[in-house]
Structure 1
């Protein structure tokens, strides 16, 4: 069995030769490219101040993976590596035939990497591979005839490039990355373009599809129109790969942007889809009629009447102004390094869509997890800037981490004035073991349905310490009362299950809600809080009620409950309708 090194935070550089397998390349051409690639990379790295001999390099046939030592400043990868690569590529292309010429795509990212005799393991490397395959980067490299495409992750751009004037951050353009299960953004810079088109020009085909004169008809009704949930409408019209719009964008600006976005596989133009969605969302009946008539004319002209009717049937209802979005964060052990954890996330940008695409993973030690959650929350808020409804945070934890005080964590640490997450969001924890255990889901779904069909009949079971001679007494009691939707445990769950384990009994019985106190507070005071949270059918509103009581605990005034009791109360709230693929949970 191979031994894995301790995971180290490394700068990651992935290199790929564009169109290496192009039929115009002979075998001899491929050999020449392969040989020259290693030579020019070594020279370029050395010239940029990154000693090639100090890097870990894996050959990937038509590319390389380079892990830069942790002690090498990341700025050296951006201030002149691009120019050195461009110089070496130009030298190579000047003395080789067109079939042996090279264009490169280079991805820049950073993260924890573990190594063994069998190779490397790292979610960060997996994510960098997705950046390298970004369709926009490939298309722009080909369209502009550029020699080099430098693709930086959002984090690498934000933490390194943006603050280094020598890296010329203004030369980078944001692009979407929609590859396999990854949905993200990256930053692209092109070197050596042979045309003046450094960023994509509006597609002539799309402009012909929706002529500018027809678009101008909608300027007046849309330019000063305020529409709730505008980001959700854009997402539904163009899909998750579309770039987020500025916070102050109006519907007219969005329509002009979408007019330059090609139709997907269904052939339905995103701009036309956006107008249809707007027609459902606006309150002014005259504007609704104008938008619907405009859509009808465009559909007739494009012979898309049947497709338009299908779209109208599937999007008949407007997006509610108070719709809730969720950010689900999953924390689990790395599997290789016992001191590392993988932080994954699924950010919902459309209240009707679940599950959304998985974001890229992060690796962290236990004391770093809060800062990573902070970054994910701030990123989500940027994406949700036009959302007018509420949002909620769900943190999915393995049993050993269920007592992490996630509801006491903060955001915006970088400001020097961090703000408690519980002031802004309902925060609940969820069970990773239950989400991964489909043989528990039938009971879970049944209890959930019973709760929502008759919330006022739902009850909380107040557990008592188990008797050693009867470890299944709680199992029997929960099975006997099918109205039971929640349980207050007698103590915080241990890291490992024990005989007569109350948490295991609750999860197996399918209870959607589980309460416990992280410390040794007086049971009567804890019960008082739980009774208020559950009274009068309140279990269906549990995340919001919990948010209210946690928020009020921060008031500089007397409150209903002891603030210390409230702050240490853990609420596990598991919605069986909001799951992610177990294969993705397995990493």
Structure 2
């Protein structure tokens, strides 16, 4: 069926084409990726390629006039709106505002309940905005889930946020994101309005399902999770970066990034691309800033993990700098702090993660570390790795060993052998100096914590040793370099389920 021109009222349509065009423009105004002329131009080019047509779209520096022109031109050809919003969804990485725009383009957006129910809710939410509900952004993020972006800056009111969530898919637990949003708003606005919202929600859920038992299940589910977004803001957040060598080029790697926030391990992939090794630090810095923006209300700690192959484990990733904090502004005065000064930075083993036949012993040693028992430390002296059979026997015969310090860096042959043997027997924690050997003082810190059973504090302390005074710091500001590397490898937190895992 061909699409009528955008200005033509649709006979029998509940919403005229003119109204839908205006709604589509308003929806596109909420898509952040369309804020710049360059992005809007790219969107038009992408949509024209999808259509296979050549259309003339006048450009405007201001966002809204340009969007009006785009909607007008694409609305005049069959499937124009569909392809335009399809291009927007792709460029916006399928965030909520772009999904809402796409729903408007292909027809009236599906809504929960009837129009009278929606009008009642709109009345209840009237006047609730970012100012009088300061938790609005956090509530939206909790209801939307990590699969969608944060609340767009252009969305100011609770009703607008609700409209975005209406058009989302329902999660596996059966509780729609908009239902969860209303419940959480009711939780923070006080008893009088909160009770009215909960009553509305109960009626709406009961009207949307056929069986009363199912309605009770959904309502119980949403009530049990009420307020959990406050807890999630206090858990540990993880940014996990995996660098995988490219077989056809030693100068390139595949970079994949996952993040997880809150009390449970639920990794979400944020990036997956091939790039030159020289571009990796800047890309990681951009990903960290992106996650920091998403975590701006987070009150817990952040751990930055690098999953690296053996050939790269001695790379001082904790020295890599964050992006300039203010962009090009004040760049000469700002300090781009190294990751190791901002976060707990640890290494994880790419090879062991892929070696499923080693996961049983890896899990056993991790349990020694975290189970509250008597875990111990083994100190390698320089050259111990040259006696592999002796070292392997020592590690296997003492199952209490959960941490080993290397006698030399993995760039050295003996240090590399010590590292590989430690991974092979399942040791979850390995420490070494980037150059030379760990000092007696550094060994003393590790042994003191282990003797006291302070494994919970160990990660805090050893990551602080990254920039402890040492031979790698000659006193110049630009010469501060990391002293030690920390491999801290938790087998319960795999970013991907291995393909052959049964």
RMSD: 4.6
User: Which residue of 2 is the match for residue 360 of structure 1?
Assistant: 271
Deviations 1:271-310 (Å, cap 9, x if unpaired)? 1122335567x59677765554443232223236134145
| Counterpart check, 1:382 vs 2:290 | no
8 Å contact from structure 1 (residues 141, 148) kept in 2: no
Q: What secondary structure sits across from 2:305 in the alignment?
A: strand
| Counterpart check, 1:540 vs 2:452 | no
Q: Distance in 1 between matches of 2:112 and 2:127?
A: 22
Q: Distance in 2 between matches of 1:390 and 1:515?
A: 22
Q: What secondary structure sits across from 2:485 in the alignment?
A: strand
Q: Distance in 1 between matches of 2:390 and 2:220?
A: 55
User: Which residue of 2 is the match for residue 306 of structure 1?
Assistant: 216
Q: Give the one of 526, 542, 549 matched to 2:442.
A: 526
8 Å contact from structure 2 (residues 314, 409) kept in 1: yes
Q: What secondary structure sits across from 1:379 in the alignment?
A: helix
| Counterpart check, 1:331 vs 2:331 | no
8 Å contact from structure 1 (residues 206, 261) kept in 2: no
| Counterpart check, 1:574 vs 2:489 | yes
Structure 2: give runs of 5+ residues left out of the alignment. Answer: 1-37, 56-74, 471-478
Distance 1:176 1:460, change over 3 A: same
8 Å contact from structure 1 (residues 177, 241) kept in 2: no
Q: Give the one of 111, 115, 123 matched to 1:205.
A: 111
Q: TM-score, normalised by structure 2?
A: 0.68
Q: Distance in 2 between matches of 1:290 and 1:399?
A: 59
| Counterpart check, 1:322 vs 2:234 | yes
8 Å contact from structure 2 (residues 175, 222) kept in 1: no
Q: Give the one of 369, 373, 376 matched to 1:451.
A: 369
8 Å contact from structure 2 (residues 144, 165) kept in 1: no
Write out the 4+ residue segments of structure 1 that deviate beyond 6 Å after TM superposition. 82-88, 140-144, 172-175, 184-188, 197-202, 247-251, 283-288, 497-500, 551-554
- Within 5 Å, which residues of 2 pair with 1:101-500? 145-146=80-81, 149=84, 177=93, 203=109, 205-206=111-112, 208=114, 211-219=118-126, 224-227=132-135, 230-231=137-138, 233-246=139-152, 252=158, 255-264=161-170, 268-277=175-184, 282=188, 291-303=197-209, 305-309=215-219, 311-312=221-222, 315=225, 318-319=228-229, 320=231, 321-349=233-261, 351-356=263-268, 358-413=269-324, 414-415=327-328, 416=331, 417=334, 418-454=336-372, 457-465=374-382, 471-494=388-411
Report deviation, 1:316: 6.3
Distance 1:252 1:477, change over 3 A: same
As a proportion of its length, which structure holds more strand? 1
Report deviation, 1:437: 1.1
8 Å contact from structure 2 (residues 362, 428) kept in 1: yes
Q: What secondary structure sits across from 1:446 in the alignment?
A: helix
Report deviation, 1:342: 1.2
Q: Distance in 2 between matches of 1:477 and 1:582?
A: 32
Q: TM-score, normalised by structure 1?
A: 0.59
